[in-house]
Structure 1
Amino acid sequence: MPVDRLPPESRSALTAVTTDEAISQRVATWFPSLADRRRYRCHTDATDFYRVDYGDVLILDGRPYLILNNAKEGRFGLDDQEKFWVKRAVDLESGQRKIIKLVFYEQFTAHIGNIAFDCFRSPRKEARILGRVAGHPHFMQGFATFDSRGNIIRVLDFIYGKSLYDTIEEMAGSHRTYFYNDFPVIFDRFKACIEAIGYLHARGEKHGDIRRDHIIIDRESGHYRWIDFDFNYRPRENIYGYDLFGIGNILIYLTGKGDLLVPDLFRRAHPSIGRLTSRDRNIVFHHRLANLKKIYPYVPESLNRILLHFSVGANWHYEHVDQLLEDLARVSL
């Protein structure tokens, strides 16, 4: 929303917080080491997110946010990838840590088996979902607002904790020990996460980018919390199919205490490789194994049957979260 269209109280607040003295006082309260600056570069327009940099102040609805750095995303052994449109920040009024997502558009086509999904980033979708999941313990929390150019900006509460991916990767010990000692609790908590996705689907929404590093384990509550809802997709078949395949990938990963890579099994000359077929592979990532019972025979048949719905050999896929949850309810660990 342009500044001249803001309500009068917001315009006056905007003027108040953009003075050097007011900004300096707020920064000195929360970051004394930065308080010696004589001038802070303030932004009300975040269209060019590269210009909104460390030590700058972003003014949204008359509220100042001190920009700290760009968020990074590291996956599967790759170096951290900097996300220049996602800023770590501090609310200079409250001192609370925030994640601020600026507008960035991209699109691509993803394929799962013979199904194609046209994917694109949608700030508007994420803004809408933030309103619908307000107060829900299994989703990130925050609100959406506009900068002076009408860009949809999302201001998110910082979640203190590790991603589910990092947590599993750091677990030591054998798979058997993990499966009997740790996995039952992880399984139950992940089921609550799946129910949360069902909550979205029941309201005609979809997550759009379900991955194991998009679940943060809240250090305070222990809840598994979904983050990053800004991807959308145009389904050519089932509207919820892409989300469901993402859930399946995470479930396989959690059951296996990581990915079981078929090339690794061959390199290690695993005793079971002679029984593996192409039908046992993950339908999305063909180098990963979905039929885990062939490697870990103690995986219950009731659970392994669910995993096989996400394999190349599956002749039927889940169409709704409720179908998956119904099967998961029958699993006894």
Structure 2
Amino acid sequence: MDTRAYDILAEYLPDFPRRHAGRIVTDTTDFMSIDYGDVIFLDGIHYLVTKNLSERRFGLEDPKYWVKRCKELETGIQRIIKLEFYESFEVSIGKLNSTCYRSPRKESRILAMTEGDKRFMQGRTVMDEMGNCVRILDIIYGTELDIVLDRLTMSHEEYFNTVFPDYFAQFIGAVRAIEHLHHNHEQHGDIRRDHLLIESSTRDWRWIDFDYTFGLRENPFALDLFGLGSILLLLVGQREITAQQLAVVKNSPVGSPAITKEDMALAMPYRLANIQKKYPYIPDALNNICMHFSAKNSVFYSSVAEFVSALVTCFNELPVFKAARGRYPEV
């Protein structure tokens, strides 16, 4: 095969600048060398690489050189291509310690298992000529949950009584999607606020990025649960409520004497879990769910099913959700 990409680009994109035409790639092992203008050839289809994608980390853009934005030349459709990449790192939450691994094949299993289930990103897996596991993903045109919340300019009380009930119902659906994975013995592995997208055209809440896995023998799904708890705290609080915002300095509260370190989240000690102490109108039943993820709590949810049950009970019983119950009877 001719390794120059110019001829195939001239056929499908005659206006593409010749000076930017790269090479045709069939072995994606060295993903760092694959860049703009290269064409990845997989399963009979040509994919023009247009950029490397990145991920937000602590307010910064973290490049993901194994994830490429591409144009499928035969159809003109934009795709995301995730190339095979492995890494591992240690995580600790309270007394929980685990090694997390990046597993392309685990993500491929979930893509196959959730085919047609729009609660999850959609895509397929192909192998390149060297047997590398390449995932070809449909692009979800939407916005990360935390950005959607951050764009709201209303007061928390107005948010809690108008927007939050619908978001809470949608969140229950997203949690049930994770319950579906667990029922099939799979973890999401990287549950974060920016891995839950609200699709622009449908307003559906959709999970992305399933390529992390972790090993916890006693409760293999514990980290997924803590991830869901962190998203719940974000939803209830409208945004992240930090120790700095509460003027808490280590163990010595300043300005908010009622706040202690036991009111903070176990997974992220700088975030408030006892949200009722900032917003007293938060109902006890809802705040109690939030407190399951606090440093004070010693009894955690044993499963996502138990977590869902608590959320649904709140939704069905609390007055703040009365109108939303009519809009979301499926909850």
TM over 0.5: yes
Question: Is 1:45 the counterpart of 2:31 in the alignment?
Answer: no
Q: Which moved more, 1:173-182 or 1:57-66?
A: 173-182
Question: Is 1:296 the counterpart of 2:291 in the alignment?
Answer: no
Q: What do the CA deviations read for 1:185-213 (whole angstroms, capped 9, x no partner)? A: 11111111000001111101010000000
Residues 16, 22 of structure 1: 8 Å contact kept:
no
Question: Is 1:71 the counterpart of 2:57 in the alignment?
Answer: no
CA distance in 1, matches of 2:98, 2:92: 6
Specify the SS of the correspondent of 1:235. Answer: coil
Q: List alignment gaps of at least 5 residues for structure 1.
A: 1-14
Shift of 1:20: 4.4
Q: What do the CA deviations read for 1:127-164 (whole angstroms, capped 9, x no partner)? A: 11100010111100001111111110010001111111
Residues 17, 62 of structure 1: 8 Å contact kept:
no
Q: Which residue of 1 aligns with 2:133?
A: 152
Identity %: 40
Q: Which residue of 2 aligns with 1:21?
A: 7
CA change 1:63–1:91 in 2 (3 A) is same
CA distance in 2, matches of 1:330, 1:47: 49
Q: What is the 5 A alignment of 1:1-333?
A: 20-28=6-14, 32=15, 34=16, 36=18, 40-76=22-58, 78-266=59-247, 273-331=256-314, 332=318, 333=320
Residues 192, 227 of structure 2: 8 Å contact kept:
yes
CA distance in 2, matches of 1:65, 1:261: 43
Shift of 1:225: 0.5
Residues 272, 295 of structure 1: 8 Å contact kept:
no
Q: What do the CA deviations read for 1:56-101 (whole angstroms, capped 9, x no partner)? A: 100011210000001111144x221111111011111111111100
CA change 1:232–1:83 in 2 (3 A) is same
Q: What TM-score do the two structures reach when normalised by structure 1?
A: 0.89
Q: Which residue of 1 aligns with 2:324?
A: none
Shift of 1:271: 9.4
Residues matched between the structures, number: 314
Q: Which residue of 1 aligns with 2:328?
A: none
Cα RMSD for the two superposed structures: 2.1
Q: What do the CA deviations read for 1:286-319 (whole angstroms, capped 9, x no partner)? A: 1111000011011111111100100011121111
Shift of 1:251: 0.3
Residues 17, 63 of structure 1: 8 Å contact kept:
no
Q: Which moved more, 1:173-182 or 1:125-134?
A: 173-182
CA change 1:75–1:175 in 2 (3 A) is farther
Q: List alignment gaps of at least 5 residues for structure 2.
A: 321-331
CA change 1:188–1:56 in 2 (3 A) is same
CA distance in 2, matches of 1:170, 1:243: 26
Specify the SS of the correspondent of 1:216. Answer: strand
Residues 5, 24 of structure 2: 8 Å contact kept:
no
Residues 146, 152 of structure 1: 8 Å contact kept:
yes
Residues 243, 270 of structure 2: 8 Å contact kept:
yes
Shift of 1:21: 3.3
2:168 partner amino acid: F
Shift of 1:180: 1.1
Q: What do the CA deviations read for 1:233-280 (whole angstroms, capped 9, x no partner)? A: 011420111100000000001110111111221179999721122211
Q: What do the CA deviations read for 1:105-133 (whole angstroms, capped 9, x no partner)? A: 11111011011011010001001110001
